[in-house]
Amino acid sequence: MKVEVVEKIDRGFEIKFRVGKESEFKRNTLFQKVEADDSESFRIAGGEALKRVEKSIELGFLNISEIAISEKKYLREVIEGILLAHYSFQKYKSKVKKSPILKLFVKGSKESVKLAKTVVSATNYTRDIVNSTPNEMTPQRVAEIGEELGKKKKLEVSRLYQKDLKEEKMELFLAVGKASVNSPTLLKLAHRKKGKKKVLIIGKGLTYDTGGLSLKPAEFMKTMKADKSGASAVLGIMKGVAELDLDVEVVGFLGLAENMVGGDAYRPDDVIKAKNGKTVEVLNTDAEGRLVLADTLTYAQESEKDFDYILDIATLTGAAVVGVGEYTTLIMGNSEKVKSKMLKAGEDSGELVATLPFNRYLKEMISSKTADISNVGSSRYGGALTAGLFLNEFISEENSKKWLHLDIAGPAYVEKEWAYNSFGASGAGVRMVLQFLMNLEK
């Protein structure tokens, strides 16, 4: 959908938003109900309005291809809602069904329009990668997409191949990808700015996860193309950062691998030495994402210095989904101040966020009698937290208060429509982290 800023609304079917009153069509206007006077309600209303107009066109009640809005207070949010709802993934369809709405006229701030378009473009870019299938999106292909992005957006780009991972002694990372014909790789993208703050963002990129020898049941395996959502989100965030030219130095790391089954697969009972020197007893090969993240977190801290925040984004645990549902990102860390900043960014961006506290007793659950730590907890309870505590073992003491873990297992890929999100990938984490970064500029 093309978006055009105009001085006055004299073209297109107009959509007007009003709080508390029921939606209705009057002449050449849709009066769209908004549930409450807050930003997310207007974002949702924007998406609902688009769907209502599209349905009316489909039923023959309207014959239009252009819509117009002039919302003042929540202009950015309404545009985001409309553009996010307009998204449709039909890459593998032989017959593509296009939206009848081709253009959006906007009366209002050019800055708000640009911001909304950039944030949604970054989100939809991520959705496209996550929705794409594993036979296409191998670790190498996702890295190539990142390299293409870096070249186009003038980001600093570097990459570690399998031999480089061996030289870096990233044995946890390598173990996960051992049984795949598609070798693991690590991509680094940097937006270099001598700005107020410096932020490292690490993304889990399992382009497919069978569970390894701890094989997943077929029903649980079918959406595992979405296990690359964290790394895909990092790509979307870097795209948004570059296009907004934020006055924040941002460095993204993508840990890309494929967890498959084979004669050389890593096994339960294996003990593997991590890049930071700690030994890990593998009790379940389906707890692989934390192994890739562990070495990538260590590499990020060693390759970049003098940073203010280090974030990781991952579809890490089913326990997070059990705990807070499909729509909410779960965050953990050692600093209440950093957690509160991300909670604020979630509220500002429209992404749902919840936080869970670490405690000393859960830490005991990842102890091992054979190695320094184990890769899963000794109890079925508290799985999201024990996964976060595992990652905490790979954050140096000096960076402990800078780190935040985002478990996006719930909202990253939902098999139904919700709010302004279509079936499949939502681009979870992109809008929230971009907002976090924009808040640091202030």
Active site residues: 216, 290
What are the backbone angles phi and psi of residue 106, rounded to the nearest 5°?
-130, 125
Give the total residue count for the chain.
442
Which tokens in the block code for residue 40? 């997310």
DSSP codes, 86-151: H----TT-SS----S--EEEE-S-HHHHHHHHHHHHHHHHHHHHHHS-TTT--HHHHHHHHHHHHH
CB-CB contact of 237 with 312 (8 Å)? no
Rounded to the nearest 10 degrees, how much is the dihedral formed by the CA atoms of 91, 93, 95, 96? -30
CB-CB contact of 15 with 29 (8 Å)? yes
In order of 57, 339, 358, the CA distances from 336 in angstroms are: 49, 5, 11
- Of 400, 344, 80, 89, the closest CA to residue 226 belongs to 89
- Of 167, 161, 292, 314, the closest CA to residue 234 belongs to 314
For residues 187 and 255, give the distance between their C-alpha atoms in angstroms, rounded to a whole number.
7
Q: Is 44 helix (H, G, I), strand (E, B) or coil?
A: helix
B/e letters for 129-153, b = 16+ CB within 10 Å, e = fewer, are bbbbebeebbbbbbbebbbebbeeb
Q: Is 417 helix (H, G, I), strand (E, B) or coil?
A: coil
